[in-house]
A and B are shown apart, each in its own frame.
Chain A
Amino acid sequence: MSQSTHKKEYEIAIIGQPNVGKSTLFNILTGRKARVANWPGVTVEVHEGETDFDGSRIKLIDLPGIYGFSTISLEERIARNYILSGRPDAVIVLVDSLNPERTMYLAIQTLEMTEKVVIGFTKSDAAHAHGVHINYDLISKRLGVPVVPVSAATLRGIRSLLRTTIDVARGRAGRKKPLRIDYGELEPYVSSVESLLKQYEERMEYPIRWMALRLLEGDNDLYKYVRGVCGDDIAEEIVKIREEIKRIFRRDPAELLAKKRFEYLQRVLGDAIVRLEIKKGGFERFTRLFYRPFIGPVLSLIILLGMFMIAFTINTGFPLNILLDSLGMHDAASAVEEYSIGGLMEKLFSWISSWITNSFGESWLTDLVANGIISGVGSVLIFLPLIMIVSLFLAILEDSGIAPRMAVSLHGPLSKIGVSGHAIFPMTMSLGCNVPAILATRAIPSRSERLRLLMTLPFIPCQARLVVILAFASSLVSGYGALLVVLGYSAAFLAFAVVNKILYIYEKKKTGKKEPEIILELPPIHRPLGKVLWWHVWDNSKHFLKKAGTIIFSLSILIWFLVNVSPSLAITDNPSDSIAAVFSHYLSPIVYPIGIEPGKAWIIAFALLIGFIAKEAVIETLTILTSTASPQQALMLLGLTASQLSALTVFVVLYVPCIATIAVIYSESRSVRHTLATIALMLGVAYVAMLITYGLSLII
């Protein structure tokens, strides 16, 4: 490009392989003001943000972390299409300073597509400590591309990266043409394909040489595109050339080309990188324990369990209060409960409620505000600290590099139910919220495993369902309350395991699939950055607060009206005359089998119906319907037996988690059938499990 355009606004893409520190850098560059970009037809989360630099506005697009540009995953396809679309003015490719030999592969592939590239070497502050010394200038000279070392920890190089990127976008720095690697003995084949495509150059949207290479690598998407533009004859010719390579070299062309690229990379990096041997730290050796049989899985489970125990105790006093209680320290136990964050917040909300009623007098409006909105939103808000603490723990595991080691340790046990160690990430995330967990299944290489997980992950109780379980538990004598929590989680994981196993066996019979496989990178263990942890926590909290402020808030109002207004649209004090009651009577029979009398059955049925929208709403519905101040009082008033509570807990845990989860299952599977099947499966399993639980608890 000869002309240098001095636009005021630039669109810049950031890409990098997984674990190179891309998200961290993106957040620093955009000052944490990113939002999820709404790309039509694309469900992968793409973040975009803006920053000003030297009078120019830079729009940054954070593309998903990928290893290369084949089209084996949706993420790879999206990143590739975006870069080829011509929209970005420049592309920042991030490379890990700790292992440039591998992570620069993506940079090389990008350079074959476009010349407008800047390479950023991340973690440059840590390179020396790890014994890696890099001659950035030499690499830059050899590739003809600006290379900028940056550090998210010390913020070194951030401004320089932006300045260089603008220079590249303006055409003042960087290459003038895409990179041409010499593919040696394969060159004649590449040029044959190139000359076939050249005849149609004007109608092609992509660089010819890049297309030729990708076609030889067996890119199906591109093949279909070329057949559309050039016709069947040309497409046929290309297939023939590919077959000839296979015949002569007895190798997959994709393998040959990848090998050539790595060899080229070796020539570029070879003497530009010096590695000094650094002794492995003690902690690094400790993490090897994760790979051991038995010790590994046990260690992982202890970490996960411990994490949730601590979070629960801080938030609700459970299970420490029960432990103290059983040791005879009753005062300490009730103090732990009372002064837990949840306990304190609950006090605050009931104080606000009564203050409103006292100062403004009793009217339908104060009732709406005090008993509808405040107790509805409040009963959900008290779980914010829990969400923050659990998010913090999950962020630590993820950012330190412990999480992938846990995946390896649990691969063995998990493959017995037909899922790989990869599934541990979405499974753990599910304990927080099912929606991001379902998005996280994209990293799973096997499509069939992924589809099974889309159906079964929602069985794993998210924090919203934990809210319900804990509320139910708090209405029981403490020892039984603990049992109820254990029951809820056991039922969930049992259902998850059994359903996965059944689907897996069925699939094995049908397609003869083998054991689940794992290919997972294990980044070096390192201390997580404080600010990155905070981002994770804040993002989750924000999501939760937004939900409490919008969905839960509107539901509280809606439910209050449904409960306080009669079908003839008059305000009524008696909930059993309300619209909700009249409507729910039709649904009541579903809870008759667990012995709930018709007079109360409609309340439960209505709460379960509302629970479809968001699970937390089950609790607020119960509180509003019984016009009580807390879930405990509501359940007390309903007079449910321990057996009925157990059965209901199991049902609440297992049935459809929320509307948002269903929506994301649909957008990920893009199949109405798959989505409906998931709903039917969850309802069926939940109902049967509820009946079994009730039956068993009566026997005990």
Chain B
Amino acid sequence: MGAYSRTVVLEELPSGSRARIVEIMGRGGWIYRLYQMGLTPGVIVDVVMNIGRGPIIIRVMGVEIAIGRGIARRIIVEPINT
């Protein structure tokens, strides 16, 4: 883990980076779907692909998931240096 922790939103993470989920903000049905897919605080996500537009591809618990940018903006993460 990095020497200091700072938080960013998932949307800002580049391809190939890794981070720990800190918080998921907002409400609505989609948030329950995220929980069910294993995206809860403390869980580690790998960014498979983020090209600055279109859905972000992440890997959580070995499963690849595409997530829209609006949702990715509401997932607060703490980058992990690898």
Please report A residues at the B interface, Cβ cutoff 8 Å: 67-68, 70, 72-73, 98-99, 101-102, 105, 251-252, 254-255, 258-259, 262, 275, 288, 291-293, 296, 404, 407-409, 411-412, 420-421, 445, 514-524
Contacts and interface: CB of A to CB of B under 8 A. Distances in A.
Contacts of A67: 33, 36-37
A411 B55 contact: yes
B59 to A, nearest CB: 9
A516 B68 contact: yes
13 contacts: A67-B37, A98-B62, A101-B61, A102-B37, A102-B38, A291-B57, A293-B54, A408-B54, A445-B29, A515-B68, A519-B34, A519-B66, A520-B66
Given A67-B37, A105-B36, A519 B30 contact: yes
A259 B57 contact: no
B34 to A, nearest CB: 7
A445 B42 CA distance: 25
A66 to B, nearest CB: 8
Given A105-B38, A254-B35, A259-B41, 4 more contacts: A70-B32, A72-B32, A292-B51, A522-B63
B63 A102 contact: yes
A259 B40 contact: yes
Contacts of A518: 55, 66-68
A520 B51 contact: no
B70 to A, nearest CB: 5
Contact of B54 (A259, A291, A523): A291
Given A70-B36, A254-B32, A514-B70, A521 B64 contact: yes
B21 to A, nearest CB: 10
Nearest to A66: B36
Interface of B: 24, 27, 29-38, 40-43, 49, 51, 53-55, 57, 60-71
A519 B53 contact: no
B54 A412 contact: yes
A445 B71 CA distance: 13
Contacts of B30: 445, 517, 519
A546 B54 CA distance: 42
A259 B69 CA distance: 23
A555 to B, nearest CB: 42
* Residue of A70, A258, A411, A514 contacting most chain B CB atoms (<10 Å): A258
A251 B30 CA distance: 16
Contacts of B55: 291, 408, 411, 421, 518, 520
Contacts of B63: 99, 102, 521-523
Contacts, number: 115
A99 B61 contact: yes
Interface centre among B24, B63, B65, by most chain A C-beta atoms within 10 angstroms, is B63
Per CB-CB distance, the 7 closest pairs between chain A and chain B, nearest first, are A67-B36, A517-B68, A258-B35, A68-B36, A259-B40, A72-B29, A522-B64
A404 B61 contact: no
A258 B24 CA distance: 13
For B53, B57, B60, B64, the residue with the greatest tally of chain A CB atoms inside 10 Å of its CB is B64
Given A70-B32, A102-B60, A519-B37, A411 B54 contact: yes
A522 B40 contact: no
A622 to B, nearest CB: 46
B29 to A, nearest CB: 4
A519 B49 contact: no
Contacts of A404: 66
Contacts of A517: 30, 68, 70-71
Nearest to B52: A293
A99 B68 contact: no
A517 B63 CA distance: 19
Contacts of B62: 98-99, 101-102, 275
A519 B68 contact: yes
B38, B55, B67 interface centre (most CB from chain A within 10 Å): B55
B32 to A, nearest CB: 5
Contacts of B31: 252, 254-255
Nearest to B29: A72
A532 to B, nearest CB: 21
A288 B37 CA distance: 21
B65 A519 contact: yes
A192 B1 CA distance: 39
Nearest to B65: A521
A45 B80 CA distance: 44
B35 A519 contact: no
Contacts of A102: 37-38, 60-63
A101 B38 contact: yes
Nearest to B27: A252
A405 to B, nearest CB: 8
B67 to A, nearest CB: 6
In the complex, which of the residues B32, B33, B49, B69 has the most CB atoms of chain A within 10 Å of its own CB atom?
Answer: B32
Contacts of B49: 288, 291
Given A72-B29, A255-B41, A420 B68 contact: yes
A255 B40 contact: yes
Contacts of B37: 67, 102, 519, 521
B68 A262 contact: no
Contact of B68 (A293, A409, A411): A411
Contacts of B36: 67-68, 70, 105, 258
A234 B51 CA distance: 51
Contacts of A407: 66
A132 B62 CA distance: 11
A252 B65 CA distance: 23
Given A70-B32, A519-B37, A408 B66 contact: yes
A597 B58 CA distance: 62
A296 B57 CA distance: 14
A485 B24 CA distance: 48
Question: Which of A291, A293, A521 counts the most chain B CB atoms within 10 A?
Answer: A291
A74 to B, nearest CB: 12
Residue of B33, B57, B62 with highest tally of chain A CB at under 10 A: B62
Among B27, B36, B43, B62, which residue has the most Cβ atoms of chain A within 10 A? B36
